[in-house]
Amino acid sequence: MSNFYRVKTSDPKMTTHEYARTPQEAVELAQAWLDRYRPELKATALKALSRKEEAELDREEALDDLKKMVKPGQTVYTILRHVSGSGMRRAISLHVVDKKSGRILNITHSAALLLDRTVRKEGGHTIDGCGMDMGFALTHVWL
């Protein structure tokens, strides 16, 4: 079992990603949030998540985030962040432009969670290999 408890309620307005070390601390954190924003609700249910369950929950949240940020047919932009000395490994980040605000949104972390890939310290997906367009492969094959 995990050493931490994720604080979460059934209320979709609660978007906190706080963690607690004990079940009691998790209930207190959840109740503090509810007292502030939804005083009519009480925090009672609590479940310790295994690493596998937590990873699956992270993937579901990442998919929800990506569905909100990326619409069908929208262009996904890539930035080559790093190339290893041998040229066999690259770090590529993913971005989209928000149509309403015109802001550039970084979707690298959400995509990495969904694809079960690592994000390098340079801020991009780790892609191994050479001889092809890795940005195209990342956006069209893996996504």
Q: Is residue 75 part of a domain?
A: yes
Q: Which position has the higher pLDDT, 49 or 99?
A: 99
Residues 107, 74, single domain; the answer is yes
- Which residue range(s) make up the domain with 113? 69-142
Among 104, 114, 113, CA closest to 76: 104
Count up the domains in the chain and report the number.
2
Q: What is the pLDDT of residues 8-57, one digit of tens each?
A: 555 555 555 566 677 677 777 777 777 777 766 665 555 666 778 778 88
Q: Is residue 74 scored above 50 in pLDDT?
A: yes
Does one domain contain both 34 and 81? Answer: no
Q: Say how many C-beta atoms besides its own lie within 10 A of residue 141's C-beta.
A: 9
Return the closest-CA partner of residue 142 out of 121, 126, 120. Answer: 126
Whether residues 133 and 77 share a domain: the answer is yes
Q: How many CA atoms lie within 13 A of 135 on its CB side?
A: 13
| Assigned token pair, 125 | 């997906």
Prediction pTM value: 0.66
